[in-house]
Amino acid sequence: MSNLLSGAKILLNCLAAENVDCIFGYPGGVTLPLYDAMYDDPVKHVLVRHEQNAAFAAQGYARATGKVGVCCATSGPGATNLVTGLVDAMMDSIPIVALTGQVSSKLMGSDAFQEADTFGITRSATKHNFLVKNIADLPQVIHEAFYIAASGRPGPVLVDVTKDAFQGQAHYTPVKEIHLPGYRVFSEGHGGQIRRAAQMMWEAERPYIYAGGGIIAANASAELKALAEALDVPVVCTLMGLGGLAAEHRNFVSMPGMHGSYAANMGMSHADLLIALGVRFDDRVTGRLSAFAPHAKVIHVDIDPAEVGKNRQADLPIVGNVKRVLPKLVAELEALAPTMKAKNTAARAAWWKQIRDWKEQHPLTAETSATEIKPQHLMAEIDRLSGGRAIVASDVGQHQMWAAQLIRFNEPRLWINSGGLGSMGFGLPAAIGAQFARPDKLVFAIVGDGGFQMSIPELATIVNHSLPIKIVVMNNGYLGMVRQWQELFYNNRLSEVALSSFPDVEKLAAAYGFKGRTVDSVQEMPSALRDAVNEPGPYLLNVKVAPFENVYPMVPAGGAINEMVLRPPQPVEV
């Protein structure tokens, strides 16, 4: 008979069984039994400086590895501080497990100190959540949480554990299997639909692959490459899908959508077959939905049946895991190739010529200036130093869009950003999680001067663990994307978007014990970036860029994606 263990120790044993090697968290009163058990446990705990950042760091870890990220917070304000991170993970389909403490069972409902209805609050913020009041339920719940987070369409799962469940004593029996009769995962895809899809692909004259974050989540980059090459068609990757096909691959066009390239959006608008893989037809990609891809039939492959037909009706839906479906598609394409491949050779050649012409007409270029640092120039220099192989984490805003446009990602899981929710303050803690996950990688945190000031306390976390993260603040003195919209759509009435009193970063970094520097010279910027990359430890670089630069191309809200504004409005000559 095994010895009795506390609920806290049983939970840690469950985490070990799930191969968890890192937890991002912040302790508090009701999680003290868990933290006491951690004292003698080999699992690595990373003490962040705010619970929201624990969730963001867990996401960075998950996004960089594909493993489930883990974060932990106490009851009440600790748990509620996780909510933004949970919603962010939910929107972007990122697998994390959040462990929260709850007041003792007998105190629940009494408005006890630091009591909050965490289970109720997080119901809509998670893929699933649990409340554990009985120690006997703990092992099964923990393993179910990891299974649900990682399987099917990934997402966040929260486990709220009462203090008495942490403190109770029980025998620990490892869980051998997960049985969730109400939870179904569709993986294989329908064979008949896959055969029909292959037929449609060969018959199309202007086929176009539209690949999203589902490719990254499923680790299906190799399978996407095989499909693109078997069919030899243009490929666009969404903001969440960048790196799904290497930027250097001959079939890669660029990113589509509101700030996508001219070629990517025109291709979407003129394709006669849209092969949508692991995407949800997000409004930032489609623009005005009624005008999106008006000439195209749609093949939609997605693991989540709720997404198929939700925004755009699919002519041929395939519910399944893209990693399992794409090899079957390629096999069917190859089987049909002897009789079908030559069917539309001339039309396909003309289609490729049109794509290349669009790319040449309006390329995504890195603008430079002799007198001020252009944000595009900054991103181009980071791209040159990264070589398409560095991890880049960003917040949301102009810097995010310029990074997505101009930094190449030649591998999956290099581009880590807040896509669906657009959370300011995400980039720095996400970079922390990514650096823990991939200590072998060069990691950039590219942040705005607004988002950076939401996560400054995590500089202490970086220093405590000697993380060699290169923090690049794109400082334009404004909440840049909000200012851009006010300029373009609100008669330039700039209301509460100017950011003054930005800290002296050399002094700020020195206060935490590492190097920092402000750069406002075009000539010094490339060498300053090199110095930051060559520094063995962390580095904080504050780059003062042109304050009124806007992100183009841009599809105005409510516009069709072929109605792009390609450059700033030009003055009218009288």
At 215, list the tokens: 């490719």
Q: Catalytic residue at 554? A: no
* SS3 letters across 394-447: ECCCHHHHHHHHHCCCCCCCCEEECCCCCCCCCHHHHHHHHHHHCCCCCEEEEE
Q: Which of 44, 113, 353, 361 is catalytic?
A: 113
Interior/surface letters 536-571, b for 16+ CB within 10 angstroms, e for the rest:
eebbbbbbbbbeebbbbbbbeeeebbbebeeeeeee
| Predicted pLDDT at 468 | 98
Report the distance separating Cα 514 and Cα 562, nearest Å: 47
**CB neighbours of 394 closer than 8 A, spacing ≥ 6?**
400, 403, 416, 417, 418, 426, 427, 445, 446, 447
Region for residue 300 given its phi and psi (left: phi exceeds 0; alpha: psi -120 to 50; beta: otherwise): beta
- Greatest C-alpha distance within the chain: 93
Q: Which of 108, 114, 205, 341 is catalytic?
A: 114
Q: Which of 9, 163, 359, 470 is catalytic?
A: 163
Report the distance separating Cα 461 and Cα 492, nearest Å: 39
Q: Please give the torsion angle defined by the CA atoms of residues 345, 347, 348 and 354, in that order, rounded to the nearest 10 degrees.
A: 150
Q: Catalytic residue at 310? A: no
3-state secondary structure of 93: coil
Backbone angles phi, psi at 541, to 5 degrees: -115, 120
Sign of CA dihedral 518, 522, 526, 531: negative
Domains of the chain: 5-170 (3.40.50.970), 191-361 (3.40.50.1220), 375-544 (3.40.50.970)
In the block, which residue shows the tokens 């490729």? 352
Side by side, the strands of the sheet bearing 470-475 are 415-417, 391-394, 443-448, 470-475, 539-544, 515-519
Q: How many CA atoms lie within 13 A of 479 on its CB side?
A: 13
pLDDT digits (tens, 9 = 90+) for 409-466: 999 999 999 999 999 999 999 999 999 999 999 999 999 999 999 999 999 999 999 9
At 474, list the tokens: 């794109």
| Predicted pLDDT at 88 | 98
**CB neighbours of 164 closer than 8 A, spacing ≥ 6?**
104, 105, 106, 133
pLDDT digits (tens, 9 = 90+) for 153-209: 999 999 999 999 999 999 999 998 998 988 989 899 999 999 999 999 999 999 999
pLDDT digits (tens, 9 = 90+) for 241-280: 999 999 999 999 999 999 999 999 999 999 999 999 999 9
Is cis: bond before 139, omega within 30 of 0?
A: no
Given a cut of 50, the residues of the chain with pLDDT beneath it are 1
Q: Which of 9, 18, 38, 51 is catalytic?
A: 51
| Predicted pLDDT at 343 | 86
Q: Which of 200, 379, 454, 481 is catalytic?
A: 481
Q: For residue 417, give the nearest of 80, 65, 64 by alpha carbon.
A: 64
Q: For residue 432, give the nearest of 21, 19, 18, 24 by alpha carbon.
A: 24
* SS3 letters across 338-381: HHHCCCCHHHHHHHHHHHHHHHHHCCCCCCCCCCCECHHHHHHH
The rounded mean pLDDT for the chain is 96
Report the distance separating Cα 405 and Cα 399, nearest Å: 10
**CB neighbours of 201 closer than 8 A, spacing ≥ 6?**
207, 231, 233, 273, 275, 299, 329, 333
Q: Catalytic residue at 51? A: yes
Backbone angles phi, psi at 544, to 5 degrees: -85, 110
Q: Report yes or no: 280 and 129 within 8 Å, Cβ to Cβ.
A: no
Residues in the chain: 574
What's the chain's Rg over C-alpha atoms? 25
In the block, which residue shows the tokens 């404004």? 478
